[in-house]
Amino acid sequence: MKSRKLLMIPGPIEFESEVLQCMAIPTPSHVDPDFIDTFSNSLKLMKEVFQCPSGQAFIVAGTGTLAMDMAAANLIEAGDKALVISTGYFGLRYAEILKRYGAEVDILEAELGDIVSMERIEQQLKFKSYKLLTFTHVDTSTAVLNDAKSIGTLGKKHKVLTVLDGVCSVAAEEIKQEEWDIDVVLTASQKAVGVPPGLALLVASQNAIKAFEQRTSPVANYYGDWTNWLPVMKAYEDRKASYFGTPAVNLVIALEKSLQLIVKEGLDNRFNRHQRAGKAIRAAIEALGLGMLSKNEQVSANALSAPLYPSQMDPATFLQTVNQEGIILAGGLLPELKNNYFRIGHMGSVNKSDLLATIGAIETALMNNGYSHELGIGTAQILKHF
Q: Read off the pLDDT of residues 131-158 as tens digits, 9 standing for 90 and up.
A: 999 999 999 999 999 999 999 999 999 9
Smallest CA-to-CA distance from 45 within 269, 191, 262, 349 is with 262
CATH dotted code for 17-265: 3.40.640.10
> What would the mean pLDDT of 169-180 be, rounded to a whole number?
98
Cβ neighbour number for residue 353 with a 10 Å cutoff: 11
Q: Give the three-class secondary structure for 363.
A: helix
* Whole-angstrom distance, CA of residue 250 vs CA of residue 23: 5
The pLDDT of residue 1 is above 70: no
pLDDT of residue 41: 98
* Whole-angstrom distance, CA of residue 363 vs CA of residue 310: 12
pLDDT of residue 88: 97
CB-based burial of residue 246 (10 Å sphere; 0-12 exposed, 13-18 middle, 19+ buried)? exposed
The pLDDT of residue 227 is above 60: yes
> 247 φ, ψ to 5°?
-70, 155
Question: What digits encode the pLDDT tens for the residues 271-326?
Answer: 999 999 999 999 999 999 999 999 999 999 999 999 999 999 999 999 999 999 99
End-to-end distance of the chain based on CA atoms, in angstroms? 26
Smallest CA-to-CA distance from 88 within 38, 146, 128 is with 146
Q: How far is CA 130 from the centre of its chain?
A: 25
Query: In this structure, are residues 108 and 84 in contact, taking their beta carbons and an 8 Å threshold?
Result: yes
Length of the chain: 386
Question: What digits encode the pLDDT tens for the residues 93-123?
Answer: 999 999 999 999 999 999 999 999 999 999 9
Smallest CA-to-CA distance from 249 within 68, 71, 22 is with 22
**Can you list the alpha helix ranges (DSSP code H) found in 218-351?**
226-237, 249-265, 267-287, 315-324
CA atoms within 13 A on the CB side of 294: 27
pLDDT category of residue 2 using cuts at 50, 70 and 90: low
Mean pLDDT over all residues of the chain?
97
Query: In this structure, are residues 32 and 186 in contact, taking their beta carbons and an 8 Å threshold?
Result: no
Q: Give the three-class secondary structure for 382.
A: helix
Residue 332's contacts (CB-CB under 8 Å, 6 or more residues apart) are: 141, 306, 315, 338, 339, 340, 341, 342, 343
pTM of the model: 0.97
Per CATH, the homologous superfamily of domain 6-12+266-385 is Aspartate Aminotransferase, domain 1 (3.90.1150.10)
pLDDT of residue 3: 74
Where along the chain do its domains lie? 6-12+266-385, 17-265
Smallest CA-to-CA distance from 77 within 228, 227, 216, 221 is with 216
Question: What digits encode the pLDDT tens for the residues 38-96?
Answer: 999 999 999 999 999 999 999 999 999 999 999 999 999 999 999 999 999 999 999 99
pLDDT of residue 15: 97
Query: In this structure, are residues 99 and 105 in contact, taking their beta carbons and an 8 Å threshold?
Result: yes
* Whole-angstrom distance, CA of residue 42 vs CA of residue 124: 38
Query: In this structure, are residues 198 and 189 in contact, taking their beta carbons and an 8 Å threshold?
Result: yes
pLDDT of residue 4: 86
**Radius of gyration over every alpha carbon of the chain, rounded to an integer in angstroms:** 21
* Whole-angstrom distance, CA of residue 58 vs CA of residue 44: 10
User: Is residue 185 within a helix (H) or strand (E), and if so which, with residue range?
Assistant: strand 184-188
* Whole-angstrom distance, CA of residue 40 vs CA of residue 24: 21
User: Is residue 208 within a helix (H) or strand (E), and if so which, with residue range?
Assistant: helix 206-213
> What would the mean pLDDT of 231-255 be, rounded to a whole number?
97
Strand-strand pairing, 199-204 and 184-188: antiparallel
pLDDT of residue 106: 98
